[in-house]
Structure 1
Amino acid sequence: MDECGWVSEVLEEETRKLKSTMLIANETFEKLTALDNQNEYECCTFKNCDFSGGNLSATKFIESEFIDCNLSNAKLNETSILDVQFKSCKMLGIQFDMSNPLLFSAIFENCQLNDCTFYEMKLRQAEFTNSSLEGADFTAADMKEVKITGCDLSNANFDRANLEGADFLMSVRLQIDPELTRITKAKLSMSQLPGLLSKYNLKIKG
């Protein structure tokens, strides 16, 4: 195949992709169990939807909201999550690090995020409030000044993460190795200090 023929095929494929992508805006969806992926959802609301184990890859969610939804183990390969709020959602085992790294800003409130992966992600535009993050992997993530307040952080991994100025107030079961993690100016309560010193096997008395 000559060069012109190859270029023509590439352009046709890109045109096909553009035609198959729909922009859906200002809609409310309730009790869905599947979603056409690769579409763009802008200013949409999803309520009581069950997308667990579903394929949401290459989909764009912009300024949208998920309320009381189940997204556990959903596939988010190259998914864009921009200014999205998740409220009271079940989101177990999601590999957020497979999503679009350039378009990720989200607020998680009262969510179950156990065993989720945020490996090497830029999370400065993320916020976690009153959520369960048991076993979550934040290894090498950029979390400067991120808010993780009122959360359960049992067995969450922060090794090599940038936690400068991060707010952990009211969160419980926090364990951080200061020798492996940048925690300058992080906001911590006195009750969280044992989680920074556990590797030294010290006995701390109040």
Structure 2
Amino acid sequence: MAQPFWFDQEFTKQDYTQNKLPKGDYENCRFVDCLFSKGFLDNQNFVECTFEGCDFTNTNIAHTIFNEVTFVDCKMVGVQFETCNPMVLAFQFTGCNLSVASFYGMEIPKTTFFNCKLHQVDFSEANLKMSQFPNSDLENAIFNHTQLEQVDFTSALNFSIDPSINTLKKSKFSKEGLIGLLKKYDIVVT
């Protein structure tokens, strides 16, 4: 039996914490100010969709497909992204709070995190090659055996990355940001 299909629809100010979003395929849809927190958004398919001002705090996204999905000004605290479907995975984040979220072991090259709060986010063993973090706050974010080749950290803030356990070839940093590569050495830079 085929899943329901929604195309070019807008969903505004919906509360999906009590009544789940119907399972199906959503293409070119827009979700504005919707509430998904602590709910279930598992086994869904989103293609070329936009989520604006939505709350995904601790939402279950297991096996969900995010293909060319954009998140704008969303609260995504504690979301375990590594549980989503890795097939055709591509998303971008602008102005989102992703604190305590996890991207553990994910293949997410060329992902942009623009002006995001990424406190204590786990990027361990992820492939972030050619990704960007413009104006994003990476306080206590975890980079452990992370592929960071050609990543742009030029305007990123508060990051701490150990070059001896992460791949940083041709990554970009500002002069002011270099301190984030030296923290483990307890060096005082004046």
TM-score range, shorter chain: over 0.9
In the other structure, the counterpart of 2:165 is: 180
Within the alignment, does 1:144 sit opposite 2:134 as a pair?
A: no
> Between Structure 1 and Structure 2, whose CA radius of gyration is higher?
1
Counting matched residue pairs gives 187
In the other structure, the counterpart of 1:12 is: none
In the other structure, the counterpart of 2:151 is: 166
Equivalent residues of 2:51, 2:71 under 8 A apart: yes
Deviation at 1:36, TM superposition (A): 2.7
More helix by share: 1
Q: Which runs of 5+ in 2 are unaligned?
A: none
Deviation at 1:201, TM superposition (A): 1.3
- Give the aligned residue type for 1:141: A
Alignment of 1:83-162 (within 5 A): 83-162=68-147
In the other structure, the counterpart of 1:54 is: 39
- Give the aligned residue type for 1:107: Q
Alignment of 1:20-99 (within 5 A): 21-34=3-16, 35-99=20-84
Equivalent residues of 2:98, 2:117 under 8 A apart: yes
Alignment RMSD:
1.0
Equivalent residues of 1:37, 1:56 under 8 A apart: no
SS at match of 1:148: coil
TM-score by length of 2: 0.95
Deviations 1:77-109 (A, max 9, x none): 000001011111111000000000123111100
Q: After the TM superposition, which parts of structure 1 deviate over 6 Å for at least 4 consecutive aligned residues?
A: none
Deviations 1:127-179 (A, max 9, x none): 10000000000000001111111100000001100000001121110100000
- Give the aligned residue type for 1:71: F
User: How many angstroms apart in 2 are the aligned matches of 1:141 and 1:37?
Assistant: 31
Deviation at 1:38, TM superposition (A): 3.1
Deviation at 1:37, TM superposition (A): 4.6
Equivalent residues of 2:110, 2:129 under 8 A apart: no
Q: Which runs of 5+ in 1 are unaligned?
A: 1-17
- Give the aligned residue type for 1:48: D
Deviation at 1:125, TM superposition (A): 3.9
Equivalent residues of 2:162, 2:184 under 8 A apart: yes
Equivalent residues of 1:142, 1:163 under 8 A apart: yes
- Give the aligned residue type for 1:139: S
